[in-house]
Amino acid sequence: MRAYRALLRKDLLLELRGRELVPAMLAFVLGALLLVRFGLGGETQAGGTRAATGLLWVAVVFTSMLALVRSFAQEREHGIWDGILSAPIDRAAIWAARSTATLAFLVVTQIVALPLFWLFFLQEGRAPSLWVLAGALLLADLGVAMLGSLLAGLASQVHAREVLLPVLFLPFAVPLVTVAVRVTVDTISPQTSGFGTLEGLGFLALYDTIFGLLGWALFEYVVED
């Protein structure tokens, strides 16, 4: 736990000081929303609720790629891996700290992006259930962060990492995004039942549990050279 806290503090401090990831993530997600909003020529409901929500989640996933591709960049570029890996710690703490930091960056991005999304695409519809929406976002973000950090650790060991990471990450993210879209639509659309929402949240929690366990168990081997 001591190692996890120290590594998380370091990750957050580096972002606070360098401001490398969060501004880029914000610029990307806001740019994507603006582009589609004005690309649709003011037809805010043109693709329907599901399409607009799908757009939000596609923007979230591609925004997360920005953070994940830069994940472990300092360790790689400055050869710091050798220092961290020679420390007497459970290497899963490195993954856990990076997952938590990525989760924090995603949440900050969404706190800014979600109101804009609502304004652009959904203000004429029904107000969503904020608690369900927040729960779905958190569960999905956690899945993205844990899976992404595991794969980023793997990709950091190879040369074509910028190509390899999206190729590995996106197929695994498909079920997560599909269910996240469904749950988000459920919170907005009046036709859906609460049971479907609970089922979706349950799936997201199961996904997080599986990739949490895999990340914890496998990261040691992922960074082994």
Partner 1 sequence: MSSPERAPAVVCEGLVRRFGERAALDGVSLAVAAGETLVLTGGNGAGKTTLLRVLATVLRPHAGTVSVAGHELPRSARAARPSIGYVGHEPLVYPDLTARENLELYAELHLAPPGSCDEALAMVGLERRARDRTADLSRGMRQRLALARAWLHGPALLLLDEPTAGLDAEGRERLAGMLARHGGAAVVATHEPEWFAGGRELRLEAGRVAG
Window 33-72: residues binding partner 1 (CB under 8 A)? none
Which of 12, 73, 84, 133 touches partner 1 by CB under 8 A? 84
Q: Is 160 in the site for partner 1 (CB under 8 A)?
A: no
Q: Is 124 in the site for partner 1 (CB under 8 A)?
A: no
Contacting range for partner 1; rule: CB under 8 A; set: 1-9, 33-41, 165-173, 184-192: 1-9
Which of 24, 40, 73, 85 touches partner 1 by CB under 8 A? 85
User: Tokens in use for 12?
Assistant: 């957050």
The contact mask relative to partner 1 for 4-33 (x = CB under 8 A, - = no) is: -xxx-xx--xx--xx---------------
CA distance 67 to 63: 7
- Sequence-distant contacts of 138-141: CB under 8 A, at least 24 apart: 138/107, 139/180, 139/201, 139/204, 139/205, 139/207, 139/208, 140/57, 140/60, 140/176, 140/177, 140/179, 140/180, 140/204, 141/60, 141/64, 141/103, 141/106, 141/107, 141/110
Contacting range for partner 1; rule: CB under 8 A; set: 51-59, 77-85, 132-140, 168-176: 77-85
Which of 27, 34, 80, 127 touches partner 1 by CB under 8 A? 80
Whole-angstrom CA distances from 25 to 30, 140, 153, 203 are 8, 17, 20, 27
Q: Is 144 in the site for partner 1 (CB under 8 A)?
A: no
How many C-alpha atoms does 172 have within 13 Å on its Cβ side?
Answer: 20
CB of 111 to partner 1, least distance (A): 25
Complex with partner 1: residue 41 or 88, whichever CB lies closer: 88
Which of 44, 45, 49, 74 touches partner 1 by CB under 8 A? 74
CA distance 147 to 151: 6
Residue type, 40: L
Site residues (vs partner 1, CB under 8 A): 2-3, 5-7, 9-10, 13-14, 17-18, 74, 78-90, 224-225
